[in-house]
Amino acid sequence: MSFSSSSLYPPFPGLAPGAKTAAISRRLVANEPDNKTIMTFDIVATPLDPPSKSEHVSGQASAFDDLLPASYRTPEEDVAPPTLNTFFLRNELEVDRLNGIHQWLWLVGRPRPPRPLYYQRAVGRKIVLHEQADVHCVWDERRVFLKPVPRWLLERQVWRDFLNCDEGCLPSKQTQYRKMNASSFNQPKAVKEGECERCELRGLATGFLLTYTSLIAYEHDLYVAKEHKLVPEGMTWSQWRSIVKSLLSSDRCPYQPTGSPYPHTPSINPRYHYGELRLGRLNLVYRLTLRSPLQGYLYGYNAYSQFWSANMKRLAGVFAYIVVVLTAMQVGLDIGKLQDNKNFQRAAYGFTAFSILAPLLFLGAVCIVFLGAFVVNLLSTIVYWKSRMGWIERRRGREESGA
């Protein structure tokens, strides 16, 4: 595969038209067959272009088929080849779970851009790829989850055809999307009066790209990003600097910032007012707000054995603490000054009773949580099985009837 950026023509402020290509043109040539694939990083500055009237071309999406995933899951859990439309973009970029707890995100992260990739590796976090946008920049003590930059998001035509709005349209409110069939998203459609779906998608896409302007801050960060397949392998440092400069310094943006930590940027989705989000606190918020009391935001156990292993380790830590304290109290009772100290004896008596009851209470609580999770998983499995089999039977009936 050969990559050519000679067709790049980003509208940089202050650059004369004749100087645009010369300013960023770079070409990588590889020895491959004649049927070469040309890839351009054509997004430079386009998220900040003034909106013009959208021209939806039905056949335009087929030109980007090679940039899309091989398959995706439909709302009915079928596997189907994706089509570039607003439904697909929404499915790839939505962060509804985080927007639902936006008022609590100040407990989970700070309103600042995420720190660069070199920092993530320096503090011992393993970079884990995750294709869900609502898991992007979520971290724990061992890992940081990052969504790779989709190749279709680096194409100017995608922004013009699917992420552009009619002139005068403003994302004044947070759109609440209803569940709709994929076919209904082939044309732009506002869910509420005065709200534009494409404006919301534009805010999601722009916010996502802005996280990478801080994740890839140094040239070394770009090498790390390529190593982990976060950006296309053919991206050069000069191209990336041009993208970041256009995203952060454009003065042609038609929208005003809305609490964003990024300078001179359009209205972005509220999720991206925050950078890195701590997974442990995110799970806690999700449980305490009863959105998912058992599993939390990102469930950490893939099997019941992992659940028991993790909790038995906690119980072992409790046992170790109890043993240390009881040993110290036993030594204290052998000392003359403490033998006749009634306060110390009462404390020793109380802690002895606690050391007997605490492990039993802890183990009982673990068993109750386990049984609750088991029952909920069993019931959800039965409900899902009936729903899924019903969908399969209905589809089979339609196929047999020729509908």
Rounded CA gap, 286 and 298, in Å?
9
Residues 259 and 388 in one domain: no
Do residues 130 and 233 both lie within one domain?
Answer: yes
* Domain assignment present for 261: yes
Q: Beta-carbon neighbour count of residue 131 at 10 Å?
A: 13
| One domain, residues 284 and 319 | no
281 with 308, same domain: the answer is no
Report whether 125 contacts 142 (CB < 8 A).
yes
Per-residue pLDDT of the chain (403 residues; tens, 9 = 90+): 333 333 332 333 333 333 333 333 333 333 333 443 334 444 443 444 433 434 444 445 567 788 888 888 877 778 888 888 888 888 899 999 999 999 999 999 998 899 999 999 999 999 999 999 999 999 998 999 999 999 999 888 888 888 876 555 554 444 443 333 333 333 334 444 445 777 888 889 988 999 999 999 999 999 999 999 999 988 999 999 998 888 887 544 433 444 566 655 557 888 998 999 999 899 999 888 878 777 788 877 677 777 788 888 888 888 888 888 888 888 877 777 777 788 888 888 888 888 888 888 888 888 898 888 888 888 888 988 888 888 888 888 777 776 5
Per-residue confidence (pLDDT) for residue 266, from 0 to 100: 55
294 found inside a domain:
no
Residues 234 and 356 grouped into a single domain = no
Residue 192 confidence (pLDDT): 46
Last residue of a domain, one of 257, 288, 319: 288
pLDDT at 60: 53
How many separate domains does the chain show?
Answer: 2
| Gap between the Cα atoms of 193 and 151, Å rounded | 32
Looking at the fold, whether 102 and 190 belong to one and the same domain comes out as: yes
Q: What angle do CA 194, 261, 233 make, to 5 degrees?
A: 95
Q: Is 299 among the domain residues?
A: no
Is there a domain that residue 295 lies in? Answer: no
Which of 288, 312, 331 is a domain's end point? Answer: 288
**Same domain, residue pair 22 and 101:** yes
Which of 288, 313, 333 is the C-terminal boundary of a domain? 288
Same domain, yes or no, for 54 and 177? Answer: yes
Please indicate, yes or no, whether residues 166 and 234 belong to a single structural domain of this protein: yes
DSSP 61: G
DSSP structural state of residue 14: T
| pLDDT value for 167 | 53
Task: Please tell me whether residues 173 and 320 are part of one structural domain.
Answer: no
d(CA 44, CA 247) in angstroms, rounded, equals 8
Owning domain of residue 252 = 3-288
For residues 242 and 311, membership in a common domain is answered with no
pLDDT score recorded for residue 276: 95
Task: Say how far apart CA 213 and CA 225 lie, in whole Å.
Answer: 12
Q: Is 370 exposed, middle or buried (0-12, 13-18, 19+ CB in 10 A)?
A: middle
The distance of Cα 357 from the centroid of its chain, to the nearest Å, equals 42
The number of angstroms, rounded, from the C-alpha of 204 to the middle of its chain's C-alpha atoms is 11
In a domain, 74, yes or no: yes
Same domain flag for 224 and 368: no
